[in-house]
A and B are shown apart, each in its own frame.
Chain A
Amino acid sequence: MRALSIAATGMQAQQTNVEVIANNLANMNTTGFKQQRAEFQDLLYQNIEQPGAQTSDSGTVLPTGIQLGAGVRTAAVARIMSQGDLSSTSNPYDLAIQGSGYFHITMPDGTDAYSRAGNFALSPEGQIVTDKGYTVAPGIAVPSTATSVTVNAQGQVQASVPGQTAPQTLGQLELVRFPNEGGLSAQGDNLFTETTSSGSPQAGVPGSAGYGTIQQGFLETSNVNPVEEITSLITAQRAYEMNSKVVTAADDMLQTTSRMGGS
């Protein structure tokens, strides 16, 4: 009875689907979070009778064969990279990227990570760091005497220092792009790392061709659409139920079989 195992693959797939949806909903208010979606593919088919097999000497062929499927599998959990809304926070160290690109973060162990979440702050040493305290590359230090810090659309960080009329340029933020953003590996804490499938990072100045611009005092909200997620959740739940009905029906058939001739 193949139906039992086929229905089991269906239930597993829907479970993955619900898990992905649950994660999206849980991260509805996570800065820079990108919605994920489970993608499914049918499993291998067993050819009992090949379509097009010859049925007589005169060349007549089977118009359709017999192909039995083996169920479904989760092919990918794809990330949807669309832009999230920008919400105003008025915090000078909250930066949002409008358009494509990632902030370049240097991890404590010296490796590179990338993030869309621009909720930065200052470290005790005055460096611009993430909410976890990791340095935002190239590591811009803000003097303690600075009265106000401005980050323009091109990523230039400037500070007004008492006693100076012209603002002092502190550094230049860079953005990083990838040939295939979907291939980045999510590390949690809103961080991504490079993989073979993402391709190598290409750094550039914000606002140059193909790179997004930086908005100071804004945060990019997650691009999760709750209505869409709830609808998907209902569909997934119903699909799960239906697969479990197949299990029940297959079980009924097997029970009938085992009762046959039993009396």
Chain B
Amino acid sequence: MVQITPSRHASPGKVFHHAFGDVWETQENQHISAGTSAARKTDTEDQKGSDGAMDNTLLVSLSSQLASYRSMDVIANNIANINTAGFKRDTVKFEEYIQNVTPAEGEVGAQAISFVADKGTSRDLTEGAITRTNAPFDMSINGRGYFTINTPNGPRYTRNGHFALDQDGRIVTEDGNALQGDGGDLTVTTDDGDIHIAQDGTVTGIRGQIGKVQLVSFDNESALVKEGDSRYITTQTATPVESPNIQQGTLEESNVKPVVEISKMLEVLRAYQTTASLTESQQELERNAIDKLAETQS
């Protein structure tokens, strides 16, 4: 009995990285390849009477079903955050995990079995739509960059530009963490009157300049880790954005596109159902085989 788990860490396999843009295309391909290779193997091995063949179909299906579950979770999270300012949607990337098959004696053309494994979630960094809120401390970033906020656990980065004042007049996020300007916290007093935030981030009141909102960028934006609460954490060095473009009184909406998510959701659902019916056919096949074999024996 060959023990196969759809894990990248099980040793004898090779891992092929697929860099397809559309994740589900990748998975569909793998369905087909998984299906055919396993079926061919069944043909040859049935004659040899060797083991493992039937279970492979089940295990290949299982790997695909586990991947579907994970996709559904990611889609659900995207849809749940459809109104979260600055939210960037995630997509799941899959990869093929190949299990090499040692050919039985005299067997030619033994094929490898391929499984699906989830490789990672990648973030869609496209900008969300800009919506006008007219709140004086709402800001959206046009183009690249992140706001830096100072949390008790160190600096964090965000594109959710919903800020307000706290009791000391500091510009803070919804959780009370201070937005960082070029000189640290930005503090507005009641004597400053109406606050104007210029495109380059300069914050001015009627008494003059208060500070400048600092936007930062990173070498590898996709390597920022989501921390929840619209925040990102990273060990990369933050470099100030040279020509920031901040719009006061607006917010960047989430970049989740309802049509895309709903159609992906249906795709995942159908893929899952198809795989489930494949499993059932396989069971049917096994039952028939047992019946037939029992007949020949008697």
Contact = CB atoms under 8 A, between A and B. Distances in A.
Given A14-B83, A42-B229, A76-B174, A179 B190 contact: yes
Interface stretch (B26-34, B196-204, B271-279): B271-279
Interface string A55-94: 0000000111111111110011010111000000000000
A3 interface: yes
A37 to B, nearest CB: 7
A9 B266 CA distance: 20
Given A80-B135, A199-B168, A64 B72 contact: no
A52 interface: yes
Contacts of B70: 68
Interface in B128-171: 133-136, 160, 162, 164-169
A78 B162 contact: yes
Nearest to A68: B73
A242 B265 CA distance: 10
Contact of A182 (B77, B165, B265): B165
Given A42-B230, A64-B122, A199-B168, A51 B83 contact: no
Contacts of A7: 76, 79-80
Most interface-central of A62, A179, A199, A236 (chain B CB within 10 A): A179
Interface residues on A, range: 35 or more
A183 B80 contact: no
Interface in B69-93: 69-70, 72-77, 79-85, 87, 90, 92-93
Nearest to B249: A82
Interface residues of B, number: 71
Interface in B241-289: 258, 261-262, 265-266, 268-269, 272-273, 276, 279-280, 283
Given A37-B133, A76-B174, A210-B191, A13 B80 contact: yes
A6 interface: yes
Central interface residue in A76, A249, A263, by most chain B CB within 10 Å: A249
A210 B272 contact: no
A66 to B, nearest CB: 5
Q: By DSSP majority rule, is chain A's interface helix, strand, loop, or mixed?
A: mixed
A199 B165 CA distance: 10
Contact of B167 (A49, A50, A72, A198): A198
A263 to B, nearest CB: 7
Interface string B45-80: 000000000000000000001001110111111011
Given A41-B84, A64-B222, A71 B122 contact: no
A177 B269 contact: no
A250 B68 CA distance: 10
23 contacts: A4-B76, A6-B77, A10-B79, A41-B160, A42-B77, A44-B228, A47-B225, A50-B225, A51-B120, A63-B120, A64-B93, A68-B77, A82-B135, A179-B190, A210-B190, A210-B206, A239-B79, A242-B258, A242-B261, A242-B262, A253-B269, A253-B273, A256-B272
Given A1-B69, A37-B133, A64-B222, 6 more contacts: A7-B80, A64-B121, A69-B74, A243-B79, A250-B72, A261-B283
Query: Top 7 A-B pairs ranked by shortest CB distance?
Result: A10-B80, A69-B77, A3-B76, A199-B167, A6-B76, A64-B120, A44-B228
